[in-house]
Amino acid sequence: MIKDDLKKILVSEKEIVERCEQLGKQLDKDIATMKSPVLFVGILKGSVPFMAELIKHIDSDIEMDFMAVSSYSGTESVGDIKIIKDLDHSIKGRDLVLVEDIVDTGTTIKELKKLLYNKGAHEIKVVTLLDKPSRRKVDIEADYTGFEVENEFVVGFGLDYNQRYRNLPYIGVLKEELY
Ligand code: 5GP
């Protein structure tokens, strides 16, 4: 079983659900001042479980779309990003909530925000399940953060290691011998 590959659990399923409830309430308040319906944009594939849990706790009228991106420059994420799967609909003049699994160096959300503003978005808020502030390379913060984590590679609740472990219902760290 995949849970046997974990060295430790950092954030439990219960903690994630409770935090999504709080984030949903907070978002609901702010969405009230944004252009309805706000479009929730999930970044594939890591954001899928978080998006699914988060939207259960939002009462406002929202829409949902997904996009997939990759960095141009190999292992360390720097510079531009490439769109692998674009949004299905135009975002001209729309207010968006960008839903991310984790903000690490910050490059992905910085470049994505730039790209989505270039495509005509009116206002963009970023919500991330996890944040690793110690790894930041560019000056950017999410507007809403689930949990801060230490500088450790984490898996579960959407986050993968070589495409595996996304289906764990919590966030954990793998045993060293598996990396
Ligand atoms: P950034 O552009 O902020 O450096 O990177 C964001 C992306 O890197 C995340 O969306 C995620 O795919 C990946 N990433 C960063 N840290 C981790 C981690 O600890 N675990 C996993 N599974 N992915 C990570």
- CATH number at 120 reads 3.40.50.2020
67 pLDDT more than 90 = yes
Distance CA 103, CA 107 (A): 8
Average pLDDT over residues 105-116: 94
Q: Which residues pair with 172 in a beta bridge?
A: 9, 155
For a substitution probing ligand 1, which of 50, 69, 104, 132 has the most ligand atoms within 8 Å of its CB?
Answer: 104
What is the per-residue pLDDT for 80? 75
Picking from 36, 83, 84, 44, the residue whose alpha carbon sits closest to that of residue 63 is 36
Residue 179 lies in a domain: no
What is the per-residue pLDDT for 71? 73
Average pLDDT over residues 38-51: 98
- The residue whose C-alpha atom lies closest to atom 11 belonging to ligand 1 is 102
* Atom from ligand 1 closest to the CA of residue 100: 10
User: What does pTM read for this prediction?
Assistant: 0.95
pLDDT band of 72, cuts 50, 70, 90: low
* Number of domains forming the structure of the chain: 1
Residue 152 lies in a domain: yes
Residue 30 lies in a domain: yes
79 pLDDT more than 90 = no
Measured CA distances, 52 to 46, 97, 133, 157, 175 (Å): 11, 14, 25, 11, 28
Residue 79 lies in a domain: yes
Residue 68 lies in a domain: yes
Q: Which domain holds residue 25?
A: 2-174
